Amino acid sequence: MTMLEIVRGDITRFPAEAIVNAANKYLEHGGGVAYAIARAAAGNVQEYIRISREAMKEQLGKDSIEHGEVVVTPALRLERFGIKYVIHTVGPYCGGVWNEDKKEKLRKAILGALKKADELGVRSIAFPAISAGIYGCPLEEVVKKFKETVEEFEREAKSVERVYLVLYSEGDYRRALEVP
């Protein structure tokens, strides 16, 4: 029995208590799902970048995050979908390369967000396919790592009951379902 469910949808309106952003280390939200979340949450991407960087300073006391570190920002306009928090995490940059180093960085990025969700006391959390877009990691490998990492987390989960991996395109969703 796994808590992970693979679904198709738009994470900016997915009704989980926490959604995860596939961010970069400076929380710039310049493209991809990061841009979409920033625009949907604040109505203005620059404003959400400002909020994110301020949160990073407050929560971590620095100007960039490493794999495994996360920053939490309020959901603002996304609250109407039941979303309370946005958890920013940074996956590996692959550019088509997949190796042990990328795997471990992705594991850390996923686990960091899951642990933070537990700390926040939320019951549900939704992830995009971290690193499978602009960062160029192979989608099937990313899905596989999600399955392994959620399984690892399940043993220690306190409040989190459901974890969703939200695929944006129909094609990606079908490919993700095929992953053993």
Element (H, E) at 85: strand 85-90
DSSP state of 167: E
| Residue 73 neighbours by CB under 8 Å, 6+ apart | 41, 48, 51, 52, 55, 85, 86, 88
* 3-class secondary structure, 66: coil
In the complex, minimum distance from the CB of residue 138 to ligand AR6, in angstroms, rounded to a whole number = 11
C-alpha pair distances (Å), 123 with each of 93, 113, 120 = 29, 13, 9
Tokens 């959390």, residue located = 125
Which residue's CB is nearer to ligand AR6, number 5 or number 156?
Answer: 5
Q: Please, are residues 173 and 14 in contact by the beta-carbon 8 Å criterion?
A: no
Which residue's CB is nearer to ligand AR6, number 65 or number 150?
Answer: 65
In the complex, minimum distance from the CB of residue 155 to ligand AR6, in angstroms, rounded to a whole number = 26
As a whole number of angstroms, the distance between CA 89 and CA 116 comes to 10
Could you list the beta-strand ranges (E) of the chain: 4-8, 18-23, 71-74, 85-90, 124-127, 162-167
Q: Which two tokens stand for residue 134?
A: 């602009």
Q: State the residues that interact with ligand AR6 by CB under 6 A.
A: 10-12, 22-24, 28-34, 36, 91, 128-135, 166, 168, 172
Which residue's CB is nearer to ligand AR6, number 100 or number 170?
Answer: 170
Which residue's CB is nearer to ligand AR6, number 23 or number 122?
Answer: 23
In the complex, minimum distance from the CB of residue 32 to ligand AR6, in angstroms, rounded to a whole number = 2
In the complex, minimum distance from the CB of residue 28 to ligand AR6, in angstroms, rounded to a whole number = 5
Which residue's CB is nearer to ligand AR6, number 66 or number 156?
Answer: 66
In the complex, minimum distance from the CB of residue 156 to ligand AR6, in angstroms, rounded to a whole number = 25
